[in-house]
A and B are shown apart, each in its own frame.
Chain A
């Protein structure tokens, strides 16, 4: 019986290590956050999502305050994003959301700037003020064409 007990124990340690590894991958790297989804959601419509993807960062003053839940095309003409904001972070109803880029070729993220209003957005409501992604190609072509005409 004694050898089998030791086998059982070694298997127990092995399974434990495996589950710890699985847990670390899911919770820390995958950011599942354990029990369901935490935080609350806001809606924002953009004319151009600029390739923003699910899971992208939402930042305020350079600090990550949430992640993008979904990016969808609505009414065949503009992009709608569901933003998941961490609990405890309040956003004013006249806040301004814009699609930005980290560095020149970096990742897209959503930057939120607070407005002067005293009232805060309820979960599920919409950020009205948005600015689309700045498209560098558009800027360059605008510059080139203005140079030709002028």
Chain B
């Protein structure tokens, strides 16, 4: 029946295509949710996956540390530089610390951090699981009565959910510190004003907001990237496409969810 609609270039065909795409999209969302939930339901089922969780935390968390430190440092530095020249026009350079801290803690830390982790860790999760599918390693696990959801998916989802907030907090601290170096040491902003204004303007609500974002992003990245890998076509191109999709979908998803969360926390 669907072939019939494709050949006609009528409104009927247009709505047919639209409907088909919408249904396929919904199907994928449903599939991803079911897959993710069935992996999460294994959380309290023996045997514990502690060792695999630690290995993933090492691969995803420790592995992303260097890139997070570098991006955090340069983000803080450029914010201080840009902020200084804007604030200097109004003679309020003393607000530099508050500006840098506020933008990093509320927005740039979680979002830029999530982007770097998607690029560094998310893509590798999808490619790894995709290749496990190609080489039928997941089937081999099932043959040995090991649930691949429990062994492969769950440790990765938990690891990203825990690693992202930790990495984002490190990003925040590095960003504020490097902003301090540029603002105070290079541009000559009052040393006390930078930290004092930062501490005075930023409330615990701002910091909580950043953490909630980081946890949600981490969970999202884990869910999307494991799903894309697990359901990738078991071919070379299939894995390549799944990896691209995982990065695109998680990045766009992070931005959309970021707006929604920000509107809740303001």
A residues whose Cβ falls under 8 Å from a Cβ of B: 4, 7-8, 10-11, 13-15, 17-19, 21-22, 24-26, 28-32, 54-55, 57, 107
A24: B residues at CB distance < 8 A: 173
How near does chain A come to B55, taking the closest CB pair, in angstroms? 6
Q: Which residues of A contact B204 (CB under 8 A)?
A: 26, 30-32
**A29 and B105 form a contact (CB under 8 A):** yes
A7 near B165: Cβ-Cβ < 8 Å? no
Cβ contact of A10, chosen from B58, B101, B206, B211, cutoff 8 A? B58
Interface 9-mer from B28-36, B149-157, B195-203, B257-265: B195-203
A30-B62 in contact (CB<8A) = no
The interface of chain B, by Cβ under 8 A from chain A, is 51, 54-55, 57-58, 61-62, 65, 101, 105, 163, 165-167, 169-170, 172-173, 176, 198-200, 202-204, 206-207, 211
CA distance A31 to B204 in the complex (A): 7
Q: How far, in whole Å, are A10 and B62 apart by their CA atoms in the complex?
A: 7
Instruction: Kindly state the separation between the CA atoms of A8 and B56 in the bound complex, as whole angstroms.
Output: 11
Return the contact of A55 from the options B54, B61, B203, B211 (Cβ within 8 A): B203
Contact of A25 among B55, B62, B65, B207 (CB under 8 A): B207
Q: Cβ of B211: which chain A residues have Cβ within 8 Å of it?
A: 22
Q: Is the CB of B207 within 8 A of A26?
A: yes
Alpha-carbon separation in the docked complex, A45 to B200 (Å): 23
